[in-house]
Structure formats: C-alpha cells, structure tokens
Amino acid sequence: MAEHKNNSEEKSVEQNLAKDYVSKSKLGNLPTPSQTDEDLKKKTSKAQKEIEKFRIELLKKHKLIDAIGIIPAQAAKKIEEEYEISEEDSKRRLIHILTIIPEKQYKNIAQIRLDAISIAKKINDKFWIHVITPIDFWNLGLDSKFEVMEAIAMSYPIIDKGFLSHIRVAQIHKSLVLKKFEKYVTSYVIGGSLTTGTTKKDSDVDVFIVIDDTDVKRMPRLELKEKLRGIIYSYIQEAEAMSGVKKNTLNVQVYLMTEFWEAVKDAHPVMFTFIRDGVPLYDRGTFLPWKSLLKMGKIKPSPEAIDMFMSSGNKLKETINKRIFDVATLDLFWGISTPTQGILMLYGLSPPNVYETVKQFKEVFVEKEKLVEQKYADILEEIIIKVWKAYEHGKLKPGDITGKELDRLSKNALDYIDRLKELREQIEKRIQEKSIEQIYNDVFGMLGSLLKKKSEEEILKEFNRKLVQEGRFPPRFLDSLKLIAKTKKDVEKTKDKSKNKKDNLTSKQSRDVDNARKLAMEITTALVEYSQRCELATIEKSRFVIKGKEGEAEIFFLSNTFIVQNQKIQKISGDKLINSNPKELQEQLVAQKNKETKIDFKSLETLKKIFGEFNLIY
C-alpha cells in the first residue's frame, strides 16, 4: 500500500477539483457507524432485549450463521422497495433484520427463513426478516443495485464473523471517495477472497478503483492518478476507523482506465482475475460490460502477449537444469565444507583450505582417531573434489547433473551432516575429559612443586598443615582441591565404562568440570600470588643497601655478591667488579630460596676499596 499524501497536497488537489466534487451519497447522507449505533440505541432501546432474544433463539436452531444485523432506518425505504414490501406493512415502521448465512447453507435457506420469521413473530411483529447468502449480495452488484448493497452494508451488527464488517469498510471508503471526485471514478470494485468465498481469519479486503483518464486535459494522466491515489489512500485509515475493523484490512489498487485496458490486452493475469472475480460497488457502465465480454470469451489477449507468455515455457528446461546445478555445486559444497572446517577447528586444527579439508578429515577422524566411518570421507571427497573441483575447472556444466543424481548427492550430504553432529559430541566429550585432566595436573603439579610432595594424598595433607592451618589459605581451598580430584575420578570412570561408545558426559559431570575449572583458576591465582610473596621475601632477606661517597647501591649476598646501581648489574669477581645480567641474578635468587643469607665479609673488603667508607643498611 502506498504512503498517504500529506495534508497540503490533499488541499491542493481539492482546490483544483472542487467544482467536480459530489457532496452527497446515493441514499442521502447515510450515518457513520458511530451515528448509526447511537440512533439505533435511542430508537430501539425498548427492542434490545427482543433482538437479543431473537439472536439466541435463531442460533439455537441454526448455528452456521455468518452475520445478523439491523438495517438502519435511513436505508429501510430502499430495502422495502427492493423486496417489494407492501405500503401497509411499510407504514408499521418495520425493524429490518438482516441474516447472512454461508453459501454452503443455501439449500437450507427456505427452512432458515421460515424458522427466523416464526421466531420473530413470537417476539415482535415489527421484525421483518431478510435471509441472504454472500452470492445474493454480490448479485446485487452485478445487477447494478448499488444503493441496496450500500443499505445492507451499513447494517448494525448483532453478530458478525467478518463478512458484514468487510463490506461495510469498503462501502464507507467508497462513499468517502465518491463524495470527493465522483467524476473521475468510473468503477469501484471489490474482489479477491471475499467475492470468491475463500476468506480466512486474517484476509484483507481487495478493492480496485478505475480512474477515467480519457477526458483529461488540464494535467498529465499520471499526475492525475498520483494526486487522486494520494487522497484515496488517505481515506483508508478513516474508513477502517469508522467501520471498526482492524488496521490494514482494506487493500486498495488504483488504475487509470487506459493503462487498465492495455494490461487486459496484454493478458495480464491480475486484470483477468480482477474482471472475472470482481463485483462493483459502483460502476458507470464500464466494468460490467468488461465482465460480460470476458464471460462470453470476447476479451482475448493479443498474439504478442501470447508469444510473451509462451516464451517463458521455452526456458523451463534451462531454468530447471540451472537450479539443479546450483544446488549440486554451490549449496551442497558450502553446506558440507563449512561445517567440516568447524569440526577440524574444534579438534584444535587451524582452518584449512577446502581441498586440505578433505585430506585432514580423513587422516584425523578416519585413520588416526578412528571416530568416523570411511563412507563419510568418501561423501566429502565426492562433493568437494569430484563435483566442486569439476565445476571450478569448467568441466561440469548445467545439464550434466540429473535430478536423480542430485537426489542421491543431497541424501548423502544430509547423512554426512547428521554424522558430523555426532562427531561433535564425541570431540566435545574428549575435550571435557582432557580438560579435567589438565586442570588437575596444573593445580596439583603446582602444589607438589611448592610443597615438595608427589602423591595426591600427601599434597592435600601438607596443604592443610602448612598453608590452611597456618592461615595462609582459607579452608574452602582444601574442599575445592578435593572436589577437583573427585571430578577427575568420576570422569575417568565414565570414560572407562563408555569406551568405544558415543556417549557424552552427563550434564551433571559437564557442570562439575566447569565448576572445577573455576575453582582451579581461583586456587592457581592465589598460589601465584603466594609464590611471588615468598620470592619477594627471599629477595628482601638477601638484599642490603650500601651508602658511600660513590653513591647508593643495592647489594645481594648470594653464591656471588651482586651490585645493582643505576639499573646496571655487576658482581664481585676476585677484587674487582665485572658485568652480569638480570637472568644470572634471578637464577641465584631462586636458588637461595628458603636458605639462610650469609654476609661475605671478604666481599665487603672489596666493596670498601671501590666505594670507600660506606654504611651497610638492611
């Protein structure tokens, strides 16, 4: 649906076309739905209970009713004329009740009418019953009885499954359009699923408006169409609001008469369908003759149009072959190669090119790990090497692959993808198993090195004695270590039981592994910080400062005596200083760890010769 035009544009068009506007409806000024509702509430307030009783009684006997409505008083005269109600009955100020039944109930219409009349007479003798089907309503349009259609469409709904509201919104929109520029509208036609009886719950109302451009002199035809279409579209929302239907119910298409006729001559399917199924709500003698001519077989497409439509069939074989070829090459190739590269990456390999993918998949998963059967490596090789490579080198062209061959390749590819999903589970299981093993080795290996113990039992015991009980680590760290050890044992048991099977870890075990990883990270961080503090303490224990005439320097009494001054590292060799480096100093600091620091007085004598008198500060 096109966007609504703005107010300034609408005002401009109104000024240009003002003298051509018609300001009244064919039935006079019909009330809006809200006015109708208010008038009916006042005039029929005493009959409300009676009308409700009629509805209930009729639905008890006949449940398949599409709508029940009250025809407004303003339209009563037209209804009475159409259905030849006597003057005597007309003077009784009848209340006309419309009942619409589904088309499939047409065979029962006589019985439904008799039952409805019988019920109405018992309740109120002023009730006048009209029972019709949707086709009866559409036939009014085909007979050019547009005012009767308008009267029925403006009925106040008692119950409505959609038909009444749909024709009501179209009628309101039609009235708004005609009031503005009736001169330019040659036909206002409703069509689509509503007229064919195939509506669904969310169906919209398809409307076609034909604009007469055969006598346009003041402006270009397309300019007229755009200006009128802007106003026509601006009335859609107003009509939907007035009728009480949901937004976007009305779907309006606007055509110029000249372009419409050209489309018919060119055999445009939309136009043929429009004429065949459409029913006018308003027509100035244009649409109904077209409809009759089409029914008689007099509207026929030109030979050129037939050639154009037939030519599309000549390309059918080429189109089919091209689509088969695209699926067999592009779709199958990307659909199978990309997931395979993902599996190789999950295994820990860098993503290879497409040809290396085939080789690596076979070497790793078929030959080395023996996780995948040979037939899946064959499927991969056929699609990537035999089909894709042949396509790349121009050896395979559309038409070379039959539908039967494509079906076989597609089934193989889908089977391959299903197997990849299983392979992913197998790999993830191994990763989980290796993960907990690595976590355990990292934590207990670090602790074993720190505590100078090897077995798990000894490490836990020493950790508790030296680090927990002495307050260096919280007691929960001991519980965390025990949990990491237990998780490793549980995973190993599962691994032993499911050997050569595709069973994955249980969801609980996966959660335990993730939890163990978090606990291990916390413990490892704490151990690194503890080790750094110990190293710092060792450094501080071996570190002295000397202050003399030559300035200030750091001195470390290790296997050698090191002097650090102005970022320059030296060591005493004999009775002189020679250059050293950070690595040598660090190695001797680590070696000195947990040992007593001894001051080398001989080195002090050497320093006295170099620095002169100095003070030694600890």
Residues 578-616: tens digit of each pLDDT: 888 877 887 777 777 667 777 777 788 877 777 777 777
Residue 1's contacts (CB-CB under 8 Å, 6 or more residues apart) are 233, 236, 248, 251, 252
Q: Examine the pLDDT at 502 and tell me if it is beyond 50.
A: no
Average of per-residue pLDDT across 139-161: 91
Contact (Cβ atoms closer than 8 angstroms) between residue 281 and residue 146? yes
| Locus of tokens 């996780």 | 371
Q: Examine the pLDDT at 10 and tell me if it is beyond 50.
A: no
Q: How many CA atoms lie within 13 A of 489 on its CB side?
A: 7
Residue 280 burial (CB count, 10 A): 25
Residue 166 burial (CB count, 10 A): 22
Beta strand spans in 200-353 (E): 205-211, 250-256, 279-283
Please give the pLDDT value at position 13: 33
The listed range with the strongest mean pLDDT (158-172, 417-431, 460-474) is 158-172
Average of per-residue pLDDT across 35-42: 53
Q: Examine the pLDDT at 396 and tell me if it is beyond 90.
A: no
Please give the pLDDT value at position 453: 81
Residue 364's contacts (CB-CB under 8 Å, 6 or more residues apart) are 344, 347, 349
Residue 372's contacts (CB-CB under 8 Å, 6 or more residues apart) are 361, 365, 366, 419, 423
Q: Confidence band (pLDDT; 50, 70, 90) for 253?
A: very high
Please give the pLDDT value at position 114: 94
- Given the DSSP bridges, would you call strands 614-617 and 543-548 parallel, antiparallel or unpaired? antiparallel
Amino acid occupying residue 90: S
Q: Confidence band (pLDDT; 50, 70, 90) for 11?
A: very low
- What percent of the chain stands above pLDDT 90? 22
Q: Examine the pLDDT at 218 and tell me if it is beyond 90.
A: no
Percent helix / strand / coil, the chain, rounded to 5: 60, 15, 25
Please give the pLDDT value at position 384: 86
Q: Confidence band (pLDDT; 50, 70, 90) for 135?
A: very high
Contact (Cβ atoms closer than 8 angstroms) between residue 113 and residue 129? yes
In this structure, what are the phi and psi dihedrals at residue 282, rounded to the nearest 5 degrees? Answer: -160, 135
Please give the pLDDT value at position 168: 93
Residue 206's contacts (CB-CB under 8 Å, 6 or more residues apart) are 190, 191, 192, 193, 194, 251, 253
Please give the pLDDT value at position 398: 80
Q: Examine the pLDDT at 554 and tell me if it is beyond 80.
A: yes
Amino acid occupying residue 127: F
For residue range 179-189, list pLDDT tens digits in order.
Answer: 988 888 999 99
Q: Tell me which of 249 and 616 has the higher pLDDT.
A: 249
| Locus of tokens 């029925």 | 152
Q: Confidence band (pLDDT; 50, 70, 90) for 5?
A: very low
Contact (Cβ atoms closer than 8 angstroms) between residue 120 and residue 129? yes
Residue 173 burial (CB count, 10 A): 26
Please give the pLDDT value at position 245: 83
Please give the pLDDT value at position 80: 85
Please give the pLDDT value at position 308: 60
Average of per-residue pLDDT across 496-503: 52
Q: Confidence band (pLDDT; 50, 70, 90) for 544?
A: confident
Average of per-residue pLDDT across 366-390: 87
For residue range 287-300, list pLDDT tens digits in order.
Answer: 999 888 888 877 77
Average of per-residue pLDDT across 92-99: 90
Q: Examine the pLDDT at 22 and tell me if it is beyond 50.
A: no
The structure tokens listed for 3 are 């966007």
Contact (Cβ atoms closer than 8 angstroms) between residue 491 and residue 432? yes
The structure tokens listed for 104 are 């499939």
Q: Examine the pLDDT at 171 and tell me if it is beyond 90.
A: yes
Please give the pLDDT value at position 492: 78
Q: Confidence band (pLDDT; 50, 70, 90) for 14?
A: very low
Contact (Cβ atoms closer than 8 angstroms) between residue 258 and residue 214? yes
In this structure, what are the phi and psi dihedrals at residue 429, rounded to the nearest 5 degrees? Answer: -65, -45
For residue range 314-359, list pLDDT tens digits in order.
Answer: 677 777 777 887 787 788 888 888 898 888 888 777 767 777 888 8
SS (H, E, C) 409-420: HHHHHHHHHHHH
Q: Confidence band (pLDDT; 50, 70, 90) for 450?
A: confident
Longest CA–CA span in the chain (Å) reads 144
Q: Confidence band (pLDDT; 50, 70, 90) for 20?
A: very low
Residue 124's contacts (CB-CB under 8 Å, 6 or more residues apart) are 47, 50, 54, 95
Which region among 130-134, 308-312, 437-441, 600-604 has the lowest average model confidence (pLDDT)? 308-312
Average of per-residue pLDDT across 523-545: 73
Q: Examine the pLDDT at 46 and tell me if it is beyond 50.
A: yes
Q: Confidence band (pLDDT; 50, 70, 90) for 17?
A: very low
Contact (Cβ atoms closer than 8 angstroms) between residue 587 and residue 556? no
Q: How many CA atoms lie within 13 A of 188 on its CB side?
A: 23
Q: Examine the pLDDT at 3 and tell me if it is beyond 70.
A: no
Average of per-residue pLDDT across 219-247: 84
